[in-house]
Amino acid sequence: MSFEQEWAGLKAAYAPESKAHMRLAGAGPHGGGTAGGGAGRGANGQPRLHVTAHVLRGRAGHAETVRGQFLKADDEVMKETGEITGTLKGFRTDTAIATFQERWRDQMSYVKQQFTGTASALRSAAGAFTSEDHRRKADIDAAAGGHGRNGGNGGHGTGAKHGSHVPAGGSR
């Protein structure tokens, strides 16, 4: 086998992989997505994840609800196990119950922190989504000549509004 034949065989073996690196994932019919990259169906036919600030705030609310239910269950467990102490005559259970309650409190504290942290992180992400949306809208409006972040002056930054422009090098 000549060098050229061997080289052609090697190139052919790796050609599909190199072409795959040149395509955008999900940017067209090959990726199974929509051309605009918005919501639609993925390559497996499942609906694509569409995350909004509203969805994140809703999930944070669900986390808070579950946290409340968990704390209610915790109160019931602590109440019931607290009633056992001293009631079982002939058994040395008080120390075991106290140890159980201490461990339970530690575990519940951890779970409470996890639910609180999850809800907080979701709300924080929702805020970031909202501020990014507002920033992008302002940038688009400014680029389109609308009233964006630069006071509606087309992005020139002079601060001139309604005829209040001061000529360069002098006062009015």
Q: Specify the higher pLDDT residue, 4 or 166.
A: 4
Q: Dump pLDDT digits (tens) for 39-64.
A: 567 777 778 778 888 989 999 999 99
Number of separate domains in the chain: 1
pLDDT at 150 over 70: no
**pLDDT of amino acid 169:** 47
The pLDDT-based confidence of 16 (bands split at 50, 70, 90) is low
Q: Which domain holds residue 84?
A: 53-143
17 located within any domain: no
The CATH number of whichever domain residue 57 belongs to comes to 1.10.287
Cβ neighbours of residue 154 closer than 8 Å, sequence gap 6 or more: 142, 145
Neighbours of 148 (CB within 10 A): 19
Cβ neighbours of residue 171 closer than 8 Å, sequence gap 6 or more: none
82 located within any domain: yes
Cβ atoms 31, 23 nearer than 8 A: yes
pLDDT at 73 over 50: yes
- Average pLDDT, rounded, for the chain: 74
Q: Specify the higher pLDDT residue, 70 or 92.
A: 70
14 located within any domain: no
Cβ neighbours of residue 50 closer than 8 Å, sequence gap 6 or more: 38, 39
**pLDDT of amino acid 8:** 84
DSSP bridge pairs for 41:
47
Q: Dump pLDDT digits (tens) for 86-145.
A: 777 777 788 888 888 899 899 988 988 998 899 999 999 999 989 999 999 999 999 988
Neighbours of 13 (CB within 10 A): 9
The number of residues in the chain equals: 172
Cβ atoms 27, 35 nearer than 8 A: yes
19 located within any domain: no
104 located within any domain: yes
